[in-house]
Amino acid sequence: MTRVLITGVAGFIGSNLADRLIRASGYKVIGIDNLAYGVREQIPAGVEFHDLDIRDPSIYPLFKAIDYVFHFAAKNCISDCQLDPVETADVNVRGTVNVLEASRRGNVKKVIYAESSALYEGSAKLPTPETDMKPESFYAISKFSSMYFAEGYARFFNLKATALRYFCVYGPRQDYRRSIPPVFSAFIIKLLRNEQPAIYGTGEKRRDFVHVDDINDFHMQCMRDDRTTGGVFNLGSGISYSINEIYSMIASLLGSKVTPIHKPDLPGEALANLADIARAKSLGWSPRIGLREGLQTSIDFIKSEMARGRI
């Protein structure tokens, strides 16, 4: 059995990876989450779950005899992070350092951890390669700082790590409970209720959306492919869509004629992001799920949450 520990296992990406590992068989999955944003019910059956905070040294014993750590736990809503830089640093920087320390003490083979495309917020280069880091928001700065700590653990303690810079990940279990949910969930929920979704600003901001199953392909590769060790990889689709285009696509998939309402633009958001995915592709990875097909999985998820009375 390969023993995998996932922080943030009750969240969107963590619960999807746990599901993938358990369905693949041959993996024992240990999950940590303090349920600050995650949902206990979406932790797949078969995960050994610990309701713990990543900042707490009591996590250390769980890292003994672990092969791979996937570190996803974070405070990651950009506008919330702007409101509370102290907690952002506490969870994202101190929490990450504590996970690195636990991994070092546990002698884990490798830590695969989440950075973000937010590191490119100030970059004008599209598509953006891994080298063009220009973090601006507190969230991005917290991810940037964690990156240096991971490099320090590699330098001084020989801790192996792989950093992943996700662009806009979507798919089943994407969090729809936030005050401003991600666009996909927000549009789908409102349109299914025959209500008008809100578009902030003109809707011409462009985003690179990548399906969670595609990033899970790379997660699996990180465990078996030594070429990923010590590397930093953009994970996006390499294609961008405007928010208006996304709206039209969702409305057409749902057969809805409801038009959106426009609200003032949200502060601190980049006009566009687009991943240069050449580096991950050079290792044989490639996103395989097109947006229309992927959107249907998000629609099916929201419909099933509605049918269960959760929305």
b/e 89-113 (16+ beta carbons within 10 angstroms → b): bebbbbbbbbbbbbbbebebbbbbb
Q: Which is nearer to ligand NAD, 145 or 226 (CB)?
A: 145
**Nearest-angstrom CA–CA distance, 172 and 305:** 10
Candidates 68-76, 151-159, 239-247, 284-292: pick the segment binding ligand NAD (CB under 6 A).
68-76
**Nearest-angstrom CA–CA distance, 311 and 307:** 8
Considering the complex, what minimum distance in angstroms separates the CB of residue 302 from ligand NAD? 15
User: Binding mask 190-229 vs ligand NAD (x if CB under 6 A, - otherwise)?
Assistant: ----------------------------------------
C-alpha distances in angstroms, 306 versus 19, 195, 204, 211, 311? Answer: 21, 15, 30, 21, 5
If binding is defined by CB under 6 A, does position 106 make contact with ligand NAD? no
- Residue 267, preceding peptide bond in cis (omega within 30° of 0): no
User: Binding mask 152-191 vs ligand NAD (x if CB under 6 A, - otherwise)?
Assistant: --------------x-xx-----x----------------
Q: Would you give the DSSP letter of residue 230?
A: T
Considering the complex, what minimum distance in angstroms separates the CB of residue 139 from ligand NAD? 7
Q: Any catalytic annotation for residue 139?
A: yes
Q: Which is nearer to ligand NAD, 140 or 299 (CB)?
A: 140
Q: Are 170 and 215 in contact (CB under 8 A)?
A: no
CA neighbor of 161 nearest in space, from 69, 65, 278, 62? 69
Considering the complex, what minimum distance in angstroms separates the CB of residue 96 from ligand NAD? 9
Tokens 């990889």 sit at which residue?
A: 233
Q: Which is nearer to ligand NAD, 114 or 191 (CB)?
A: 114
Considering the complex, what minimum distance in angstroms separates the CB of residue 207 from ligand NAD? 10
- Which 3 state secondary structure label does DSSP give 309? coil
CA neighbor of 185 nearest in space, from 295, 279, 261? 295
Residues 110-139 that bind ligand NAD (CB under 6 A): 114, 116-117
Considering the complex, what minimum distance in angstroms separates the CB of residue 255 from ligand NAD? 27
Catalytic residue among 27, 37, 139, 247: 139
Residues 11-50 that bind ligand NAD (CB under 6 A): 11-14, 32-38
DSSP strand pairing (168-170 vs 198-200): unpaired
Q: Which is nearer to ligand NAD, 53 or 151 (CB)?
A: 53
Other CB atoms within 10 Å distance of the CB of residue 53: 17
Other CB atoms within 10 Å distance of the CB of residue 155: 9
Q: Which is nearer to ligand NAD, 76 or 262 (CB)?
A: 76
Residues 74-93 that bind ligand NAD (CB under 6 A): 74-76, 91
Considering the complex, what minimum distance in angstroms separates the CB of residue 121 from ligand NAD? 12
Residues forming the site for ligand NAD (CB under 6 A) = 8, 10-14, 32-38, 53-55, 72-76, 91, 95, 114, 116-117, 166, 168-169, 175
Catalytic positions, please? 139
